[in-house]
């Protein structure tokens, strides 16, 4: 069976990481042939080298912004499905979902189409997409309960009867399951936030919080900022220049898990205005870190109930700072929270568990 994984542009982000994990699992366990498709080229496309390394074929349609929703492009996609004998599609993000949904209807070979809604910001802004959505009666997978609740068209009677929502969460990677060593130099503690520097991520919140933390906590502290476009972060936020001695802007790295282990990170941070299910929060948890983050439903769903006290609104700078300081000075609490996080996420979000759910859905839809 050949499955097309359809995305927006070839960047290394949450959706891409998840689909590569899923593609590898389905290829290994269920003999599914993965094929990655992208609507547009990107100036920075490290994803291609990753796909080549893993032996996963890929194609970029490279549609222009003005022609994304034209019938000729829908026909181009459907013709590609037919020529390449694609049996089904798993699509993430707004435009790939809708374009491939319609294109798959033109191709009689495509037996299933699965949507992955990544965040609560999934919206139809043009009448074209609204009319298109009303015609689509395919299965929807949402990575987030919040996304499903806020998917505005699903609230209308006309479309609700046409969709069945399946909530299948993200999966953690299979590498580095071990929790960090207990042998840790308590005289030097480290925190990390892994996120590309672009909306909806809130590095302004992180820096405001760390400014408060430094007023209270006088021990040796390192804060690592990892993600695309973070190299010049401190130049952009010049009002926080005084934090430069202990803020380390690393930029993009291809293996955040290894970095967290090598640097003996103690606390994982994540601040954002909205999210699907952030992969990095699951990686923090898997590696035994306590998590201090924005209080968003998809993140709350990831954590065990007893550890949700460390989620806050982005406006609660004082509370976030106090929580971080408390964890910095309390080794036993960090260890206890981290252990519960690790056990919880390994049980609920293993690749085998999530991959099996996807495959069972594919089998059901394919018939």
Q: What is the CATH number of domain 188-348?
A: 3.40.50.2000
Cβ contact 222:249 at 8 Å: no
Domain positions in the chain are: 2-171+350-366, 188-348
CATH of range 2-171+350-366; options 3.30.160.40, 3.90.1150.10, 3.40.50.2000, 1.10.1740.10: 3.40.50.2000
pTM for the structure as a whole: 0.82
pLDDT of residue 183: 56
Domains 2-171+350-366 and 188-348 alike in fold = yes
pLDDT at 185: 66
Tens place of pLDDT per residue across the chain (367 aa): 999 999 888 777 777 888 899 999 999 999 999 999 998 887 766 788 889 999 999 999 988 877 776 778 888 898 999 999 999 998 877 678 777 777 877 787 888 888 765 444 344 444 444 444 444 445 555 554 444 444 444 444 443 344 444 667 788 887 654 555 555 666 799 999 999 998 889 999 999 999 999 999 999 999 999 998 999 999 999 999 999 999 999 998 888 888 999 999 999 999 999 887 888 999 999 999 999 999 998 899 899 999 999 999 999 999 999 999 999 999 999 999 999 999 999 999 999 999 998 899 888 888 7
């Amino acid at each position: 069976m050949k499955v097309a994984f359809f995305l927006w542009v070839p960047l290394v982000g949450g959706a891409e990481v998840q689909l590569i994990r899923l593609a590898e699992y389905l290829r290994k366990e269920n003999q599914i042939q993965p094929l990655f498709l992208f609507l547009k080229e990107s100036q920075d496309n490290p994803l291609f080298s990753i796909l080549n390394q893993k032996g996963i074929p890929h194609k970029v349609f490279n549609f222009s912004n003005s022609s994304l929703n034209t019938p000729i492009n829908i026909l181009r996609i459907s013709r590609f499905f037919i020529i390449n004998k694609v049996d089904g599609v798993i699509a993430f993000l707004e435009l790939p979902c809708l374009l491939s949904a319609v294109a798959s209807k033109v191709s009689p070979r495509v037996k299933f189409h699965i949507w992955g809604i990544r965040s609560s910001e999934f919206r139809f802004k043009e009448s074209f997409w609204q009319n298109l959505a009303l015609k689509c009666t395919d299965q929807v997978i949402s990575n987030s309960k919040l996304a499903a609740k806020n998917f505005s068209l699903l609230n209308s009677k006309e479309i609700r009867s046409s969709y069945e929502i399946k909530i299948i969460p993200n999966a953690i990677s299979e590498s580095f399951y071990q929790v960090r060593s207990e042998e840790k130099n308590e005289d030097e503690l480290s925190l990390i936030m892994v996120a590309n520097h672009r909306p909806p991520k809130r590095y302004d919140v992180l820096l405001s919080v760390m400014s408060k933390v430094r007023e209270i906590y006088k021990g040796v502290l390192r804060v690592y900022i990892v993600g695309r476009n973070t190299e010049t972060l401190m130049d952009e936020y010049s009002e926080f220049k005084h934090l430069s001695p202990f803020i380390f802007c690393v930029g993009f790295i291809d293996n955040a898990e290894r970095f967290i282990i090598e640097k003996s990170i103690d606390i994982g941070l994540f601040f954002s205005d909205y999210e699907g299910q952030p992969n990095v929060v699951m990686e923090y948890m898997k590696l035994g870190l306590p998590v201090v983050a924005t209080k968003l439903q998809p993140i709350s769903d990831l954590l065990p109930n007893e550890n949700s006290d460390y989620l806050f609104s982005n406006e609660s700078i004082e509370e976030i700072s106090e929580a971080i300081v408390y964890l910095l000075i309390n080794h036993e609490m960090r260890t206890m929270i981290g252990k519960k996080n690790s056990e919880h996420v390994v049980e609920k979000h293993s690749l085998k568990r999530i991959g099996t759910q996807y495959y069972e859905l594919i089998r059901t839809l394919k018939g």
